[in-house]
A and B are shown apart, each in its own frame.
Chain A
Amino acid sequence: EVQLVESGGVLVKPGGSLRLSCAVSEFTFRNAWMSWVRQAPGKGLEWVGRIKTILDGGTTDYAGPVKGRFIISRDDSKNTLYLQMNSLKTEDTAVYYCTKHDPITYSYFDPWGQGTLVTVSS
């Protein structure tokens, strides 16, 4: 069974930094485009950013609210996806999910991890 397991969510002060991890098993991680999606408490889903495979250039794209502050990276030797979050703001408080793009059109997400909660508060 495909599994994605996020970790690293904690309480952090505004202006601080944090790195989330997503450990992936049961599929060829190096061939997968991956995304982070977040959900603020009581709110809807918000796409954060994605990273393509190394074969596709390993390039990243980000949503406007996090561009310049968040960095997505991957370590294919460890089957792990990362989200480096800098200059955190209270509005970054959310559950962060990692998810895999479909391998043909890259246009939908399946499966998803269980999520990790990041709280930004003084």
Chain B
Amino acid sequence: DIQLTQSPASLSASVGDRVTITCRASQGIRDYLNWYQQKPGKAPKLVIYAASTLPIGVPSTFSGSGYGTGFTLTISSLQPEDIATYYCQQGFSIPTFGQGTRVE
């Protein structure tokens, strides 16, 4: 199975801050990398797919980049509603998730 390693495990930021989360794959996965936001007690929500594509309805403050083995999720200006745990997920082969990054 392809392993995904996220960093950092958690971070503390203020409203308006730029936040960057990294996800590294154990082998090349082209651009089959997706990001989910999960708030406590809620189901995950897709925020980026295919490494850099924003689903309809996701604010433009979210962006993604990367290819191969290295990927980043960036929130350009953190808003209170962005406080959540973020997971990367690869869909190149049997799906796997990163361990999560808590943004507080």
Contacts and interface: CB of A to CB of B under 8 A. Distances in A.
Interface string A96-114: 0100001001111111111
Contacts of B45: 112
B4 to A, nearest CB: 10
B64 to A, nearest CB: 12
A47 B43 contact: no
B89 A115 contact: no
A63 B43 CA distance: 20
Contacts of A50: 95
Which of A61, A109, A113, A114 has the largest count of B CB atoms less than 10 A from its CB? A109
How many chain B residues sit at the interface, stated as a range, is 20 to 34
Interface in B85-104: 87, 89-92, 94-100
B55 A110 contact: yes
A105 B50 contact: yes
Given A47-B94, A61-B94, A109 B50 contact: no
A63 B50 CA distance: 22
Given A108-B34, A112-B45, A114-B43, A47 B100 contact: no
A44 interface: yes
A45 interface: yes
A42 B36 CA distance: 17
A44 B43 contact: no
A107 B53 CA distance: 13
Nearest to B49: A108
B32 A109 contact: no
A35 interface: yes
Given A107-B95, A109-B44, A114-B43, 9 more contacts: A44-B100, A45-B44, A45-B97, A107-B32, A109-B34, A109-B89, A110-B46, A113-B43, A114-B42
Interface of A: 35, 37, 44-47, 50, 61, 63-64, 97, 102, 105-115
Interface of B: 1, 32, 34, 36, 38, 42-46, 49-50, 55, 87, 89-92, 94-100
